[in-house]
Chains A and B, each alone.
Chain A
Amino acid sequence: MKMKITIAVLLCLAILVGLFLFVHAGQDDLRVFNWGEYIDESILKQFTEETGIKINYKKYASNEEMYAKLKRGGSRYDIIVPTDYMIERMIAEDMLEKLDFGNIPNFGNIDSRFTHRVYDPGSEYSVPYMWGTNGLIYNTEMVHGEIDSWDVLWDETYKGQILMYDSMRDSFIPALIKLGYSINTRSPRELEEARDLLIAQKPLVHAYMGDIMRDSMISGEAAIGLMFSGDAVYCIDENPALAYVIPKEGSNVWFDAVAIPKGARNKEAAELFINFLCRPDIALKNTEYIGFSTVNAEAFKMLPPELLENPAYWPPDEAIDRCELLMDLGDFAGEFDRAWTMVLAK
């Protein structure tokens, strides 16, 4: 009898210990949490070869997903790559570690135009990674006339030919700008108008998509899509009939930056990794591979001319001047969610 109890207790322990071991496997690795399709993965291998530090690489699909996993999920990561407005929010909520720039000498390679931005005014918590814009990608063989305005997203002649992002903040950008409002509005009335505009657009939309929109544009499934500039660079490279434009009414310019979340176990290795990403040859390799615009002044000097001439990769300054940054909405984000749910539920 006693023995049976012992066996049962031992079995319980075995299960728990097994789980514990499982959960804690690879504790010494550098844990990197990045967007999908957002790094040349050979860079990870090269880092391990040069430093001996193993990398545990995980991906997310949106800032909000990354935030939720860090805030509530108890996930621990050493490196994350949030967008400007999310960095602002995470700094405000004390979720980021201050960086020790003594360990990141390559920070000097970053173009000073991209540091000390409004989301991290002291440039203490983040090191810029990539930047880009939101705009329209279109298939020149499938559209008529010049595409230069968000109005085409509401043009009846493109019924069933329009692709949108299934992302709340990005999808509201065209609607809010078309109405002449800020993309960071906190006015319920303005948001309602934008929502009604998106509901009116719905019959024209072929689908709301994530990353697979790139494949759909390349294969000519649709004529027009709302897209990030870097994805557009990739698509145009695959299908030269595609073109990208920042609409004349203005758009969103954004910056993604590397940061270390509070609770990171391996802060020094993380800073070593950030320093590695800022090395000109690595930054160049990365930007050429993923197609998003570099923030690295040294890498910029080595860019091939065809990238510099590509307005999707390096838009003219006057186009950037028309663009606005996204800001953290605080509690008003909940209102955006309700409005977006109403669009998708209709």
Chain B
Amino acid sequence: MPNAYRRFITLPYLAWAGVFIVLPILLIVYYSLTVEADGHLLLSLENYKRAFDPVYLTIFRRSASLSLSCTAICLLLGYPIAYILASREYAHKSFLLFLFLIPMWMNFLLRTYSWISILERNGLINTALRAIGLPTADLLFNNAAVLLGMVYNFLPFMILPICSVLKKREQSLIEAAQDLGANSRQVFTKLIFPLSVPGVVSGITMVFMPATSTFIISDLLGGAQNMLIGNLIEQQFLRVNDWHFGSAVSVILMLVFLASFGIFSAIDKDEGVGLLY
């Protein structure tokens, strides 16, 4: 009976997932495997072949290097921040965590636009530099500006999961480790970090995915000079109206995410943290 009950209570969700998640994915796969010829749809691998053209490979490489750098920087910045926010001194001061969330209340586009007025030639930073007699610099419309925009926008997605995992750790485990003679470095490397791996893994996926598929950050802060995968897909759907090629690129992107997801969950298991939960 409880099992039957559970099954029925999940029905609305299943219906939702079917209509709004599974069906669209199937449609994208269908589009990616067809080409239009004389008003007819033909099954073909043409779109996938096209995606491996050197022009598009350049775009994939650039996207990969930017999103991997973004994820690495977010991890290096985010872990210590999450650690501090989750530490006993600050855990009750939810106000601090709040400060990291407040910018997210503002529209994502607006936040990205405001970086333009900070970085541009007559923007905040350069005006300040000029005022104190220092030479100005071209800060906007390059890969560094895109990377900055990504890190700025996606950092909270790294901090939050790590922080919530770290907050849940058992103080008694740490005390036990200390009792057994572990110094603070060993406590961290042998205990706290392995325990926080699930948070790190979900933080990495939550940063890596939007960083790989973003198109608006590279448009606004990169001056559209260095096309990323997201821009390529957007262009195929909105400007060129070639949904078939756009879908093929989307499917490739999904496969990349799926593969990285698989690797991460394998790491997750290797660390043996599953036992503790």
Asked if B120 and A8 sit within 8 Å, CB to CB, the answer is: no
Chain A CB within 8 A of B56 CB: yes
Partner of B224, one of A4, A7, A209: A209
Bound Cα distance A11, B16 (Å):
11
Chain B contacts for A109, CB-based, 8 A = none
Asked if A1 and B4 sit within 8 Å, CB to CB, the answer is: yes
Bound Cα distance A341, B116 (Å):
24
Q: Which of B78-86, B156-164, B169-177, B239-247 contacts A (4 or more CB under 8 A)?
A: B239-247
Asked if B241 and A11 sit within 8 Å, CB to CB, the answer is: no
Interface string of A93-131 (1 = CB under 8 A from B): 000000000000000000000000000000000000000
Q: Considering the complex, give the chain A residue whose CB is closest to the CB of B221.
A: A207
Asked if B11 and A8 sit within 8 Å, CB to CB, the answer is: yes
Chain B CB within 8 A of A46 CB: no
Bound Cα distance A333, B58 (Å):
22
Chain B CB within 8 A of A234 CB: no
Asked if B225 and A202 sit within 8 Å, CB to CB, the answer is: yes
Give the size of the chain B interface in residues (CB under 8 angstroms).
Answer: 37
Known: A8-B8, A15-B12. A345 touches B56 (CB 8 A): yes
Bound Cα distance A344, B238 (Å):
16
Chain B contacts for A342, CB-based, 8 A = 55
Chain B contacts for A12, CB-based, 8 A = 11-12, 15
Asked if A337 and B235 sit within 8 Å, CB to CB, the answer is: yes
Bound Cα distance A65, B235 (Å):
9
- Chain A's nearest CB lies how many Å from the CB of B49? 14
Q: Considering the complex, give the chain B residue whose CB is closest to the CB of A60.
A: B238
Partner of A11, one of B4, B12, B113, B224: B12
Chain B CB within 8 A of A216 CB: yes
Known: A1-B4, A221-B122. A337 touches B239 (CB 8 A): yes
Known: A15-B15, A202-B225. A221 touches B235 (CB 8 A): no
Chain A CB within 8 A of B138 CB: yes
Chain B CB within 8 A of A334 CB: yes
Known: A8-B12, A68-B238, A341-B55. A166 touches B138 (CB 8 A): no
Partner of A341, one of B12, B16, B120, B235: B235
Chain B CB within 8 A of A189 CB: no
**Total A-B pairs, Cβ < 8 A:** 93
Interface string of A49-60 (1 = CB under 8 A from B): 000000000000
Chain B contacts for A15, CB-based, 8 A = 12, 15-16
Q: Considering the complex, give the chain B residue whose CB is closest to the CB of A205.
A: B225
Chain A CB within 8 A of B167 CB: no
Asked if A207 and B122 sit within 8 Å, CB to CB, the answer is: no
- Chain B's nearest CB lies how many Å from the CB of A203? 10
Chain A CB within 8 A of B64 CB: no
Asked if B240 and A160 sit within 8 Å, CB to CB, the answer is: no
Chain B contacts for A334, CB-based, 8 A = 240, 242
Interface string of A191-220 (1 = CB under 8 A from B): 000000000001001111110100010011
Bound Cα distance A15, B239 (Å):
33
Partner of A64, one of B121, B220, B239: B239
- Chain A's nearest CB lies how many Å from the CB of B141? 4
Interface string of B110-122 (1 = CB under 8 A from A): 0001001000111
- Chain B's nearest CB lies how many Å from the CB of A192? 13
Q: Considering the complex, give the chain B residue whose CB is closest to the CB of A3.
A: B8
Partner of B227, one of A216, A219, A345: A345
Known: A342-B55, A345-B58. A337 touches B223 (CB 8 A): no
Chain A contacts for B226, CB-based, 8 A = 344-345
Asked if A67 and B241 sit within 8 Å, CB to CB, the answer is: yes
Chain A contacts for B241, CB-based, 8 A = 64, 67-68, 71-72
Bound Cα distance A64, B246 (Å):
15
- Chain A's nearest CB lies how many Å from the CB of B185? 46
Chain B contacts for A338, CB-based, 8 A = 55
Partner of A209, one of B223, B231, B232, B235: B223
Q: Considering the complex, give the chain B residue whose CB is closest to the CB of A161.
A: B121
Asked if A221 and B58 sit within 8 Å, CB to CB, the answer is: no
Chain A CB within 8 A of B5 CB: yes
Asked if A212 and B55 sit within 8 Å, CB to CB, the answer is: no
- Chain B's nearest CB lies how many Å from the CB of A88? 16
Bound Cα distance A341, B120 (Å):
26
Chain B contacts for A337, CB-based, 8 A = 235, 239-240, 242
Partner of A62, one of B58, B141, B237, B239: B239
Q: Considering the complex, give the chain B residue whose CB is closest to the CB of A63.
A: B239
Chain A CB within 8 A of B9 CB: yes
Asked if B238 and A206 sit within 8 Å, CB to CB, the answer is: no
Partner of A4, one of B5, B16, B242: B5
Asked if A221 and B239 sit within 8 Å, CB to CB, the answer is: no
Chain B CB within 8 A of A168 CB: yes
Partner of B120, one of A9, A67, A216: A216
Bound Cα distance A71, B239 (Å):
12
Chain A CB within 8 A of B268 CB: no
- Chain A's nearest CB lies how many Å from the CB of B146? 12
Residue from A160, A205, A209, A341 whose CB has the most chain B CB atoms within 10 Å: A341
- Chain A's nearest CB lies how many Å from the CB of B37? 11
Asked if B141 and A65 sit within 8 Å, CB to CB, the answer is: no
Subset of 14 A-B contacts with CB under 8 Å = A5-B8, A8-B11, A15-B16, A62-B239, A160-B138, A208-B225, A209-B223, A212-B113, A333-B240, A334-B242, A337-B239, A337-B240, A341-B55, A344-B227
With contacts A68-B238, A207-B224, A337-B242 known, what are 15 further pairs, Cβ within 8 A? A8-B9, A62-B239, A64-B240, A64-B241, A65-B238, A68-B237, A166-B219, A206-B223, A207-B141, A207-B223, A207-B225, A209-B224, A220-B122, A333-B240, A342-B55
Sort A-B residue pairs by CB-CB distance and give the 6 closest, nearest first: A207-B223, A208-B224, A8-B11, A11-B12, A64-B239, A166-B224
